[in-house]
């Protein structure tokens, strides 16, 4: 049972390039989330999808877009990467009726 799988694990981008971070969960969870983790700032919510077909902004959505492709997959897109988007990105999922959120292993992104 894989849980939450993120790809890629590492990525280096040049300023202005675009990329999509992929996330898939196999736990049949309704809700999925994208967080970024920066030193001294904890995990901050970028976007979330409460259920298939819906997405909403979190605390720090600027510069990002998301797609809830189906119940399993939730992708995060950087259209024009900036150095300020250098971070570790985590995808998480949870069921509506369950309190525990399960996290992926993270994607370490560096924008130069």
Partner 1 sequence: QQQVKQSPQSLIVQKGGISIINCAYENTAFDYFPWYQQFPGKGPALLIAIRPDVSEKKEGRFTISFNKSAKQFSLHIMDSQPGDSATYFCAASKATGTASKLTFGTGTRLQVTL
Chain residues binding partner 1 by CB under 8 A are 4, 30-31, 33, 35, 40-45, 48, 50-51, 58, 90, 92, 94, 96-101, 103-106
Q: How far is CA 44 from CA 7, 38, 60, in A?
A: 19, 8, 7
R_g (Cα) of the chain, nearest Å = 13
Q: How far apart are CA 87 and CA 41, in angstroms?
A: 11
Rounded to a whole number of angstroms, the minimum distance from the CB of residue 35 to partner 1 is 8
CB of 111 to partner 1, least distance (A): 20
CA atoms within 13 A of residue 98's CA, in its CB half-sphere: 12
Q: Which is nearer to partner 1, 21 or 104 (CB)?
A: 104
Q: Pick between residue 15 and residue 54 the one whose CB is nearest to partner 1.
A: 54
Comparing CB distances to partner 1, the nearer of 17 and 95 is 95
CB of 73 to partner 1, least distance (A): 17
Contacts of 24 (CB under 8 A, 6+ apart): 4, 5, 72, 73
Least distance between partner 1 and beta carbon 50 (Å) = 4
Residue 90 has which token pair?
């985590």
């Amino acid at each position: 049972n894989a849980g939450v799988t993120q790809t890629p694990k590492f990525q280096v981008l040049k300023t202005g390039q675009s990329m999509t971070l992929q996330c898939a969960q196999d736990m049949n969870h309704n809700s999925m989330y994208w967080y970024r983790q920066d030193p001294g700032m904890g995990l901050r919510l970028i976007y979330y999808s409460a259920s298939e077909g819906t997405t909403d902004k979190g605390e720090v959505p600027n510069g990002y877009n998301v797609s809830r492709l189906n119940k399993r997959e939730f992708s995060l897109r950087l259209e024009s990467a900036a150095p300020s988007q250098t971070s570790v990105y985590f995808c998480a999922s949870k069921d509506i009726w369950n309190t525990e959120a399960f996290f992926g292993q993270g994607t370490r992104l560096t924008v130069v």
